Amino acid sequence: MQRRTFLLGSTALIAVSGLGLAAGKALHTYDLATLLQQLQAFRGKEIKHSGAWSASEVFQHCAQSIAGSLDGYPEQKSPLFQLSIGKLALSTFQAAGAMRHPLAEPIPGMAVLNSQLPTAQALELLISQLERFLQNTDEMLQPHFAYGTLSKSNYQAAHWLHISQHLSELTVT
């Protein structure tokens, strides 16, 4: 009997938490077109990064993330992870309107970032991948390596949150 009570209580708690997170998602707008304009405004400017990676590596990393949504990620977390921790993490990020993840953690299986690639080239790579994503009309994209299957609107939120967190460590002059 205690096990049944625990399972029912846990299920109810998860459901109520999920409702709160879903309500929080509606409060935030994840406008990738505006983010694209912000990135385009970086052209020709000096860009410094305060984190472990250079600005070039940050732009490459963000471009890889977008490419993964369109072409597929080389490695996936387990389906159990994606359906539990992954989904909960994305819902939490969306409800908060901000992502918090390790900023120098590569995407599993993606190519090693090129520390010698000029920042301007890496910026153009990110801009081109973001334009490619915005022009894509498919509602269902490739599964995210951590979040699993996402709709295009959930991917828009994930990309906006991801790129925005990385941009928070940039200084543009």
Enter the DSSP assignment of 149: S
Domain extent at residue 7: 2-172
170 forms bridges with which residues in the sheet?
Answer: 49
- Judged against a pLDDT cut of 50, whether residue 115 lies above it is answered with yes
Residue 26 confidence (pLDDT): 55
Phi, psi of 148 (to 5 degrees): 80, -150
Choose among 113, 112, 128: nearest CA to 54.
113
Q: In the structure, what pLDDT confidence band is assigned to residue 14 with cuts at 50, 70 and 90?
A: very low
pTM of the predicted structure, to 2 decimals: 0.84
- Judged against a pLDDT cut of 50, whether residue 16 lies above it is answered with no
Residues 6+ positions from 116 with CB-CB distance below 8 Å: none
The position carrying tokens 């970086």 is 42
What would the two tokens of residue 128 be?
């081109």
Burial of residue 169 (CB within 10 Å: 0-12, 13-18, 19+) is: middle
Question: What domain count does the chain have?
Answer: 1
**DSSP SS3 for 112:** coil
Q: Which residue has the higher pLDDT, 23 or 27?
A: 27
Q: In the structure, what pLDDT confidence band is assigned to residue 111 with cuts at 50, 70 and 90?
A: very high
